[in-house]
């Protein structure tokens, strides 16, 4: 989406970040735990806290705010955690692909081929919902692509000899990649 002159073919194997899903993003992590943490180790055992802290570091950097040097979607306000709408919009616009589609649709139309797939039984059904919505949005914008929901959980048999990398991804690249 960002560098169509550099990339001509893309395959996303069970992507996340295609959209928000059914549950608001800010409802996922334990924000109190994040704000009380003094190091990344304090977030051990809480995958959502770790992921959302890393996302905030990438998309909401703030060098004046140790220990993580970032701002967050939920911020303390008089001892209570409240949604920071500006931070939420900034993070979502930078991270979620569906937020970039209208602006970057022409870049995607320049691609030789686009394909993505997702596992139907992801324990986080937001990923399934977001990928279903993303393929529909690509259709609405007239962006040619292939998309498939497959009957599995993420990662099962991806890297085996009969897994999705060997049977789906590599043949896809074989069909569409060209070399000078």
pLDDT tens-place string over residues 117-141: 999 999 999 999 999 999 999 999 9
pLDDT of residue 179: 84
pTM of the model: 0.90
Q: Which pair of structure tokens corresponds to residue 14?
A: 């069970």
Q: What is the pLDDT of residue 70?
A: 98
Is 4 or 148 the better-scoring residue by pLDDT?
Answer: 148
Across the chain, what does the average pLDDT equal? 95
Contacts of residue 111, defined as CB under 8 A and 6 or more positions apart, other chains included, come to 4, 7, 8, 9, 10
Query: Closest Cα partner for 130 from 54, 25, 26, 10?
Result: 25
pLDDT at 150: 95
pLDDT tens sequence across 29-43:
999 999 999 999 999
With cut-offs at 50, 70 and 90, classify the pLDDT of residue 157.
Answer: confident
Q: Give which of 141, 132, 25, 27 is closest to 89, Cα–Cα.
A: 25
Q: How far apart are CA 164 and CA 101, in angstroms?
A: 26
Which band of pLDDT confidence, cut at 50, 70 and 90, is reported for residue 155?
A: confident
Given pLDDT bands bounded at 50, 70 and 90, which one contains residue 156? confident
Q: How many residues does the chain have?
A: 180
What local confidence, expressed as pLDDT, does residue 54 receive?
Answer: 98
Q: Helices (DSSP H) in 28-180: which residue ranges?
A: 31-36, 47-59, 85-95, 101-109, 125-140, 164, 170-176
Three-state DSSP state, 42: helix
- Neighbour tally for 113: CB within 10 Å: 16
* Alpha carbon distance 97, 179 (integer Å): 28
pLDDT at 151 over 90: yes
Q: What percent of the chain has pLDDT over 90?
A: 92
Q: How confident is the model at residue 10 (pLDDT cuts 50, 70, 90)?
A: very high
- Statement: residue 87 has pLDDT above 90: yes
pLDDT at 180 over 80: no
């Amino acid at each position: 989406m960002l560098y169509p002159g550099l990339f001509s073919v893309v395959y996303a194997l069970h992507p996340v970040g295609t959209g928000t899903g059914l549950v608001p993003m800010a409802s996922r992590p334990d924000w109190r735990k994040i704000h009380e943490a003094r190091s990344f180790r304090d977030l051990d055992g809480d995958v959502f806290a770790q992921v959302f802290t890393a996302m905030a570091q990438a998309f909401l950097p703030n060098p004046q705010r140790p220990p993580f040097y970032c701002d967050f979607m939920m911020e303390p306000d008089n001892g209570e955690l409240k949604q920071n709408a500006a931070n939420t919009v900034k993070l979502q616009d930078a991270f979620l692909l569906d937020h970039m589609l209208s602006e970057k649709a022409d870049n995607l139309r320049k691609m030789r081929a686009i394909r993505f797939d997702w596992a139907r039984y992801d324990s986080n059904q937001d990923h399934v919902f977001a990928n279903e919505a993303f393929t529909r949005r690509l259709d609405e914008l007239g962006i040619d692509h292939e998309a498939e929901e497959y009957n599995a959980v993420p990662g099962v048999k991806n890297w085996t000899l009969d897994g999705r990398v060997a049977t789906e991804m590599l043949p896809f690249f074989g069909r569409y990649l060209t070399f000078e």
